[in-house]
Structure 1
Amino acid sequence: MAVYPGTFDPFTSGHRDLVARARVMFDRVIVLLAVNADKQPTSEATARAGRVREAMPAAWGNVEVDTSTGLTTAYCLRRGATVIVRGVRTAADFRYEYQLAAMNERLGMQTIWVPSRPHLAATSSTVARAYRSAQPAGPSLNAEK
C-alpha cells in the first residue's frame, strides 16, 4: 500500500495524474490530505477531501482518500503502508523532496518519486489558486472527472 500525501489546495490535474499512475503500481493508494498548521488552506481538510473524492472515477476502487494531522510517516506506519509517493516537477522540487525522503527513511518509511508528465509540470496548487483568484469566471485548472 502507498500513501500520497499533500495539502491538495486545490487538487489539480497533475495530482490526479499521479494518483492514476500510482494506482497501477500499488495494490492500494491512500490520498492523504495532510493537515499542516504552517499552511493556511483556502478550505477545511474535510471539504478538500470531498473534492478529491469527487475527482476520482468510481472505477478506481483501490484509491482511498483520508485526512490526518501529525507526521505522515506515523500515519503510514499505523496504516501499514510500505511507501510514500511524491510527485516531482522540477529540480527545486527534487531538492526539497530529497530532504523529506531522507527524514522519512530515518523514521522507517521509504519514498518513491514520480516525475510529472511534461504537459502538467507547470501546474501546481499555488498556480491554480492564483489563476482562480485572478479569473473567477474562467476555466479551472483543477482535476477533471
Structure 2
Amino acid sequence: MRIGVYPGTFDPITRGHMDIIRRGAKLCDRLVIGVTTNPSKSPMFTVEERMAMVTRETQGIAGELVIVSFDSLLMDFAERQGASMIIRGLRAVADFEYEYQMAGMNQQLNDRIETVFLMADVSLQPIASRLVKEIAMYGGAIGKFVSAEVEVKVAARVEKIGRKGS
C-alpha cells in the first residue's frame, strides 16, 4: 500500500490546500493529512478546530483520506504512518527554495521517504493561509480563497479577537 503524508498547519484550510489534497489523493492509496503546529506561526484556530475544518472540507474527495494531528518531526510522523512519500505544494520560486532545503534535510533524516512536489493550480498560486488571515483581519473579502464554511469560521474568529484597522 502506497501511503502519502500531506503536512501543514491548515490555518485555515484554503482552496490551494484542497487542490493539493485532491491531486495528492490520486498518487497514493492512502493520504494522511497531518495537521501540525508550526512554532514560527501564530495560529488563528486550535489544532482541534483545524482538524474539524479539514475533515469537513475533504468529505467527498475520492480515495482514502486520514486526518491526524502531530507535534513531532515530520519524518518521524511519516515513519509512524508507514508513508513512502511526503506531498508538498509549490506556489512560487520562494516556496521552492524553502521546500528544496526542507526536502534535503528530510532526506538526511530518512532516505526511505521521498518528497513529491505538486505545482499549485495557476489560479490558486497566490493563496496563502497567512494572507487570508491578514485580509480577514482588515475586513477584506476572503471568499475567493476559502470555502463558504471556512469563510464563516474565519469571520467569527475575527469578530471574537477583533478586527484591525477599525
Indicate whether the TM-score tops 0.5: yes
**Per-residue deviation at 1:110?**
1.6
Larger Rg: 2
Match of 2:132 among 125, 128, 133: 128
User: Which residue identity does 1:26 align to in structure 2?
Assistant: C
Match of 1:69 in 2: 71
Q: What's the TM-score, normalizing by structure 1?
A: 0.92
Gaps of 5+ in 2: 150-166
**Per-residue deviation at 1:37?**
2.7
Instruction: Pick 1 or 2: higher relative contact order, CA cutoff 8 A, min separation 6.
Output: 1
User: Which residue identity does 1:99 align to in structure 2?
Assistant: Q
Q: What's the TM-score, normalizing by structure 2?
A: 0.81
Match of 1:115 in 2: 119
Match of 1:91 among 90, 93, 97: 93
Describe the superposition over 1:13-48 as per-residue Cα deviations: whole angstroms up to 9, x where unpaired: 000010000111111101111122332201110110
Partners of 1:110 and 1:142 lie apart in 2 by 29
- Distance 1:102-1:139 versus aligned 2 partners, 3 A rule: closer
User: Contact 2:22/2:61 (CA < 8 Å) preserved in 1?
Assistant: no
Match of 1:18 in 2: 20
Describe the superposition over 1:80-131 as per-residue Cα deviations: whole angstroms up to 9, x where unpaired: 0001000000011000000000011111132110000100001111111112
- Distance 1:37-1:12 versus aligned 2 partners, 3 A rule: same
Gaps of 5+ in 1: none
User: Contact 1:52/1:65 (CA < 8 Å) preserved in 2?
Assistant: yes
User: Which residue identity does 2:84 align to in structure 1?
Assistant: T
**Per-residue deviation at 1:59?**
4.7
**Per-residue deviation at 1:75?**
0.5
Aligned length: 144
Partners of 1:82 and 1:44 lie apart in 2 by 28
- Distance 1:74-1:104 versus aligned 2 partners, 3 A rule: same
